[in-house]
Structures are given as structure tokens and as C-alpha cells.
Amino acid sequence: MITFFQENKDLLNEAVQEEKTLSIYKLIMDGGLGGQIIIALLFVLLAIALYIYFERFFAIKSASKVDKNFMNQIKDFVTNGKLESADALCKSKNTPTARLIGKGISRIGKPLDDINTAIETAGKLEVYQLEKNVSWISLFIALAPMLGFMGTVIGMIGAFNDIAVANDISPAVVAGGIKVALLTTVFGLIVAIILQIFYNYIVAKIDSIVNNMEDASISLVDLLVKYKK
């Protein structure tokens, strides 16, 4: 008899564990077509945003490589009149800062205002390349909770419809619709939180590169003022 109860207890435990394992999946599948569509859209948004994040991550990682001796070498070349060597050095460094400095060096001999304009224009182009597609992540951050809220509305409509059909307001009747409402809201918030973290990281990295570009451009302009003198 003890063995029989023990075996039944083990089977019950296994069933409970299996139920816990499949609970999220079952919630999604039992949530109705509306909830499934909303959750599928949220996963699509997350997948697209993650692709953009990793593409930008590797691009920014490559762009953020800084040679501490780069500006010192540029100063030496410009001071000694070796502009071709300075230009060659800029071309050998595949970074936004190097391209920005190279644009300024290529304008040496022209008025400083023209050089400043060329540097500012090149800087805007480099920032645009760094921020490429990042705005989509920002859009998805705003869109994810809205989709979750839409699922909430759909779930509540379903709950009220079930009440009207069954002419009963018992918890068993309204549980399905409320379940959809809560599930989609949770998924929307989770997606938004994940993307917000990634977005802030990317923006911080871009700001760091932009600051380095500004410092380098100011150093170059100061150097050209002394060079002209």
C-alpha cells in the first residue's frame, strides 16, 4: 500500500513539473488567436531589434578603436609640412575620427571657415552612419507596450463577450480573457525593457565616439591656426 501511494505521488510530482514547464507555452496557446498574434508580433519586433543591435554593436566596436598616438602623429606631420603623410595615415585608419581629420587635412590651404565647414559636414555624415537604423529600436521600444496594451483590450473584450454568451460572471468564465490581457501586457513590457537596455548602450557608445571626433576636430583646427601663423 505504501509503495502504491509513493508511486502515485511520484507520478503526481512529474505531472506538476511538466505542467510548470509547459505553463508559458500553454498560456500562449490557450490565449486565443488575438493574443497569439500580438505575442508573435512582439517576438518579430524583438528579433528585428536584436539584429539591428548586434549589427550596430560590431560596427560601433570597429569604429571606436582609438590609436592614442594618432593625433600626435598628425600634429608632427602637419607641423613639419608632411601633409601627404598625414593624409596617408588618415586613410590607413578606418575610423570616423580618422576620416574626419583626413577631410580637414585635404582642405589645408583654404580659409579656416571652409575647413571648419568641411569638418562639420563630414562629422554629420559620420554620425548618421553610426546612428544608422538605431531609431528603429527606439520606435520598437514605444511600440512594444502599445501592442501589449492592445492585447489587453482584446483580452478584456473576449472576457466580456464570454460573460454575455454564458450569462455568467463567474471567475471560470472571465479567466480566459483576463489571462490574454495580462500575458500580452507582460510580454510587451519585457520586450520594451530589453530593447531599452540595448538602446541606451548603443547610444552611449555613439556619444563616446562623437566626443572623440569633436576633440580631434578641435585639436586639428587649433593646429591649423598655429600652422598658418
The verdict on 152 and 181 lying in the same domain is: yes
Task: List, for residues 172-199, the tens digit of each pLDDT value.
Answer: 556 656 666 778 888 899 999 999 999 9
Task: List, for residues 151-180, the tens digit of each pLDDT value.
Answer: 877 777 766 666 666 666 666 556 656 666
Structural domain span for residue 115: 70-130
Distance in angstroms between the alpha carbons of the first and the last residue of the chain? 104
Q: Which residue has the higher pLDDT, 149 or 160?
A: 149
Summary mean pLDDT of the chain: 79
Spatial distance between the Cα atoms of 86 and 70, rounded to a whole number of angstroms:
10
The verdict on 99 and 166 lying in the same domain is: no
Spatial distance between the Cα atoms of 133 and 118, rounded to a whole number of angstroms:
25
**What is the reported pTM?**
0.75
The verdict on 143 and 210 lying in the same domain is: yes
Do the domain assignments include residue 227? no
Residue 110, classed as helix, strand or coil, is strand
Mean pLDDT, range 35-47, rounded to an integer: 88
Q: What's the CA dihedral at 50, 40, 146, 148 to 10 degrees?
A: -120
The verdict on 142 and 215 lying in the same domain is: yes
Q: What is the pLDDT of residue 227?
A: 62
Determine which of 11-25, 108-122, 158-172 has the lowest per-residue pLDDT on average.
Answer: 11-25
Spatial distance between the Cα atoms of 180 and 32, rounded to a whole number of angstroms:
7
